[in-house]
Amino acid sequence: MMSTTDQIKTMNSGTISNLEDLTIVWLDITIDNSSIIWSKRQNLLRSCINYIRTFTDESECLKYISAIRDERIFIITSGSMGEIIVPQIHDLLQISHIYIFCSDIAKHTQWSKLFRKIRGVFNEESTLMICLESDTKIYLSTLMPINISSSNERSLQDIDEEQVAFLWFQLMIEVIYRLPQTPTSKREMVNECRTHYIDNPVQLRMIDEFYNKYTANMAIDWYIKDCFLYRLLNKAFRTENIDIIFNYHYYLSDLTKQLTKLYLDQFGNKTGTLRVYRGQHMHKDEVIKLQNSIGRLISINTFFSTSTSCLVATNFSGNGEGRSQNIESIIFQIEIDLSIRRRPFGKIDQFSSNKDENEILFAMGSIFRIESVELFTDDIWLIILTLTNEVKKEVEDLLAYFTKHIGAQPSLLELGVLLSKTGDYQRAKQFYLRLQNELLENDYDLGVLYNNLGEIYRKQSDLDTAMKYYKLAIDELTESPFGFIDRWFGIVHSNIAMIYDTRGQFDQALIHYRCALHIIERDDDDSEGELYSTIYNGMAAIFQQKYELKTALKLYEKVLKIELSVLPSSHPSIAITYNNIGQLYFKMEENLKALENFLKARSIMLSTLPNNHRDLAFLYASIGAIYIIQNQVSKAIEHLLEAEQIIDRSTLTADHSLREDIYRTLIIVLSKSQMIDFSIRAHLKLIDMFKVRTPPVENEIAFWTSRLGRLFSNQGNYQQAFEYQQIALDTIQKLPRPQENKELYLIIIDNILQTRHFDIALEHYRRLLNEEADTRSQFAGKLHNNLGVVYDYMENDLLALKHYREALFCYDNLPDTFVNQLSIIHYNIAVILNNLADYEGSRSSLYKTLNILSDHDYELRSKCHCLLGEIYEKSSNWMYARKHFFKAIEFATQANSHPQFIAKCTRHLEQVITKIEENDSTELESTK
């Protein structure tokens, strides 16, 4: 016999997660966990709720309660501590009932009347337990098994709205049911149960009994017992916790097989109809939600019991008990057409101790249509459901397609693939690593496993680790009986190509794609369409990046033709292809065609991918970018907000690189819009992401904090801007000074200059210049130029002139590279020389500027001509002045310059023309 409590006594039950639905929290400063009285009290409590947490401090208790999401809490508190904590927790969703346990009933009854969740004030354990047991029974009835909740629970799932979650959950359950049963899987399941019930001797005895006596034909017997299996499984199914469900696959496989056999024996050849009932409690707001959903489909994601007797169901409904707590009595009347094949169900009288209940057990995943929701009596609601096998065609087609690919005897490989397809890479990796420990050396599946692990790391942007696993996959597959014609060789080469593509090594990527094509072309299997499309998609992406856009488009169109012929119309791969074509058209600036393909991709993704999938986030960002270009602001905001919300609710860790990618994308898109508040929020989230990395990525924090400050500067909020620039400056100064950090330091100082803190900018420009070893480097040139700008702002013309000339000296050998910067420096020198009344020098610098300036830099050209006009005006050279003012106005108009500048040039032009006319008139008089 396997040992029980002794093996796990050393574990701290306080660190074990609650796998059931309810938690007891007991708050009392006098609690002594080591006392015999308290030990007996805990055993008494565990007869109705297993999980108990005790606290002697209100703040610690509040912190724990606030962190709970998927359980409901029954809190017992002393009177004095209750007065403090009850007002803080009463309205929290996770708080179900509150009990005051104290010695002075009179004192604490008065204030407790203000709080409806308080069930009573007690001074005896016996009366407290009677109330607690009754409340527990009623509340568990609301959870077993139908529940509409605002948390992560989905016992009753709206298929019209949640069809995607339904699809993937059903597929994962199908895999779990079909996993092989081994002694190890049974032992792991039992150990998990023992760990959870470590302090519950009653349940531990039942777990021992299960381990020693259970056989496959006893699955239903054990499910209908009020014991650990029933409680743990129902919560796992409601919360769709794949990790926990997986732990019970040994037992679930037996339960499903036994129920399927009952269904085939009892109803397999029958037609006609069957009516069954289920009685239970339900929260009032959930009843209202059902009432508003008449005609919709729902799925019940757990095993659940019904009866052919309405009287039995009525007794289970409670006959109105609990209405004072907003809990209603419900009878479900379920109509079944026996000719329609669906999830199994069966009569289980032979297993039940109550034969007269005429019990029928349904498998999880059963689908119903809501026909009506009405009051049957003053105290009981009647809800009529029809059992159906209806789901949307897209879901039905994908279920059939993926179920076929799962096969009759899947392994953890198939479960990992499904998790990966939903974007849950971390969980997929956990299952793959678990399988890696189980597979024998030279097992054929090792090659496939290494490839799949490589895929996970590639999708998580860990390219080096991904390549390591791909090479391990090739080593393993080389030993396979199929040799180098094995299709998995083609898959691995295709995946390696994607790594080279990401690294920008396009020629290497194409070599591996062509190698993959060569391998699968030698395979006679007609089902390789999906692999062909993956390879052609990758090749198209490479040609797109090489700007061979027509070649890329032809390949994408080839991919789409293959996919539409071999895949269900709603397969996610087709959505990816539409998205890729959209991205190509976007690059070609054919925005209408891009949008058309993006919308096709969105239609498929919404019907086949979870609503937190990263591909959806990138797609919504792309659509938002199109709408910004089209100036459809409301649609742009709608799609960009949706992209943000998708990534926020994704399963990716807070510091995941894919989160970083989407926020970078959002920021790039938002930079082309006026959505400043949205852009600020995206910057803050990206900064927080770098802060939670281990260690924090300080240079990225500095860069994005400085960019955030720049946003505030652009709004004219210089105070807020300076605060962020100061944070960025403090951060960058702590770091070593390789060239990239020096460049970042310079950017931050430039942004501080924009906030008009000239003294701080001056200090740090000088510091960087003193650190620069090469006094004629490009970097030194930038620093001299910026110092010139600072002194210019401070109206110190001589020092400004000095640094501008030093900058020219540094740039002397780099005219082609820095032509734009050179032209600006020459212009700035011209302005200073004009201020110093060196008009000849100023004019010379202006002509130098015009000679090297780009033809399309209308803004600076207009400024040069305006200043030249002013210089000629001062020397009374009216004809040259007129010529330059005319050009200044012409270029300013082309540059869409500020109206004040154009008005200034126009005034000067009018003055010059007046002077010319006066001179002409004077000359005419003198000739008379």
User: How high is the pLDDT of residue 506?
Assistant: 93
pLDDT level of residue 159 (50, 70, 90 thresholds): very low
pLDDT in tens, 774-810: 888 889 999 999 999 999 999 999 999 999 999 998 8
- Measured distance CA(895)–CA(875) in Å, rounded: 28
What is the pLDDT averaged over residues 254-278?
Answer: 92
- Measured distance CA(472)–CA(371) in Å, rounded: 56
- Which phi and psi angles does 332 have, rounded to 5°? -90, 125
Residue-wise DSSP of 494-513: HHHHHHHHHTT-HHHHHHHH
Whether 318 shows a pLDDT value over 80: the answer reads no
pLDDT in tens, 409-447: 677 888 888 888 877 888 889 888 888 887 777 677 888
- Measured distance CA(888)–CA(895) in Å, rounded: 10
Helix (H) or strand (E) run with residue 477 in it: helix 463-478
User: How high is the pLDDT of residue 926?
Assistant: 58
pLDDT level of residue 150 (50, 70, 90 thresholds): very low
pLDDT level of residue 465 (50, 70, 90 thresholds): very high
Whether 486 shows a pLDDT value over 70: the answer reads no
User: How high is the pLDDT of residue 924?
Assistant: 54
User: How high is the pLDDT of residue 289?
Assistant: 85
* Helical pair 183-196 and 228-238, crossing angle rounded to 10 deg: 90
- Measured distance CA(751)–CA(324) in Å, rounded: 63
Instruction: Name the residue among 572, 611, 569 with its Cα closest to residue 162.
Output: 611
Q: Please give the residue that has the higher pLDDT: either 482 or 922.
A: 922
User: How high is the pLDDT of residue 136?
Assistant: 83
- Measured distance CA(816)–CA(832) in Å, rounded: 25
Q: Which two tokens stand for residue 86?
A: 């009850």
What is the pLDDT averaged over residues 140-146?
Answer: 56
The H-assigned helical ranges of 57-158 are 58-67, 79-89, 105-112, 125-143
Contact of 361 with 304, CB cutoff 8 Å: yes
User: How high is the pLDDT of residue 409?
Assistant: 64
User: What long-range pairs does 912-921 form, CB within 8 A, spacing at least 24?
Assistant: 912/869, 912/873, 912/878, 912/881, 912/882, 912/885, 913/882, 915/876, 915/878, 916/878, 916/879, 916/882, 919/878
User: How high is the pLDDT of residue 512?
Assistant: 94
Contact of 155 with 300, CB cutoff 8 Å: yes
* Helical pair 201-213 and 228-238, crossing angle rounded to 10 deg: 90
What is the pLDDT averaged over residues 645-657?
Answer: 74
Residue-wise DSSP of 281-316: EEEHHHHHHHHTTTT-EEEE-S-EEEES-HHHHHHH
- Measured distance CA(720)–CA(710) in Å, rounded: 10
pLDDT level of residue 528 (50, 70, 90 thresholds): low
User: How high is the pLDDT of residue 324?
Assistant: 62
What is the pLDDT averaged over residues 635-640?
Answer: 86
User: How high is the pLDDT of residue 1?
Assistant: 34
Whether 196 shows a pLDDT value over 80: the answer reads yes
Question: How far lies 424's CA from each of 246, 428, 532, 612, 923, in Å?
Answer: 15, 6, 25, 10, 89
What is the pLDDT averaged over residues 523-535?
Answer: 71
What is the pLDDT averaged over residues 808-832?
Answer: 82
Instruction: Name the residue among 106, 109, 65, 107 with its Cα closest to residue 85.
Output: 65
pLDDT level of residue 894 (50, 70, 90 thresholds): very high
Q: Please give the residue that has the higher pLDDT: either 392 or 668.
A: 668
What is the pLDDT averaged over residues 69-95?
Answer: 90
Rg (alpha carbons) of the chain, rounded to whole number? 37
Report the predicted TM-score, pTM, of the whole model to 2 decimal places: 0.62
User: How high is the pLDDT of residue 856?
Assistant: 84
CA 207 to chain centre: 38
Q: Which two tokens stand for residue 40?
A: 């007996």
- Measured distance CA(375)–CA(329) in Å, rounded: 10
User: How high is the pLDDT of residue 394?
Assistant: 63
Q: Return the DSSP state at 732.
A: H
CA angle 761, 767, 773 (to 5 degrees): 135
* Domains defined for the chain, CATH in brackets: 5-142 (3.40.50.2300), 156-398 (3.90.176.10), 411-525 (1.25.40.10)
Torsion of CA 847, 848, 850, 852, to 10 degrees: 160
Conformational region of residue 222, where left means phi above 0, alpha means psi within -120 to 50, and beta covers everything else: alpha
Contact of 516 with 549, CB cutoff 8 Å: no
Type of residue numbered 499: I
Question: How far lies 738's CA from each of 605, 675, 730, in Å?
Answer: 44, 35, 17
Of the listed ranges 93-102, 111-120, 172-181, 860-869, the least confidently predicted one is 172-181
Q: How many CB atoms lie within 10 A of CB 183?
A: 8
User: How high is the pLDDT of residue 561?
Assistant: 92
Contact of 897 with 879, CB cutoff 8 Å: no
Whether 164 shows a pLDDT value over 70: the answer reads no
Q: Which two tokens stand for residue 323?
A: 């209405």
What does the mean pLDDT of the chain come to? 85
Whether 304 shows a pLDDT value over 90: the answer reads no
pLDDT in tens, 693-739: 888 889 999 999 999 999 999 888 999 999 999 999 999 999 888 88
User: How high is the pLDDT of residue 143?
Assistant: 62
User: How high is the pLDDT of residue 481?
Assistant: 62
Torsion of CA 295, 345, 283, 127, to 10 degrees: 170
- Measured distance CA(720)–CA(135) in Å, rounded: 54
Instruction: Name the residue among 750, 811, 804 with its Cα closest to residue 777.
Output: 811
User: How high is the pLDDT of residue 146?
Assistant: 47
Rounded percentage of the chain residues whose pLDDT exceeds 90: 45
Q: Which residue has the tokens 């108009």?
A: 893
User: How high is the pLDDT of residue 5?
Assistant: 35
Q: Which two tokens stand for residue 782?
A: 């930038």
pLDDT level of residue 813 (50, 70, 90 thresholds): low
Whether 223 shows a pLDDT value over 80: the answer reads yes
User: How high is the pLDDT of residue 108?
Assistant: 93
Instruction: Name the residue among 211, 208, 195, 201 with its Cα closest to residue 10.
Output: 195
Q: Which two tokens stand for residue 600?
A: 């096709």
- Measured distance CA(64)–CA(826) in Å, rounded: 66
Contact of 29 with 82, CB cutoff 8 Å: no
pLDDT in tens, 238-251: 777 888 888 888 99
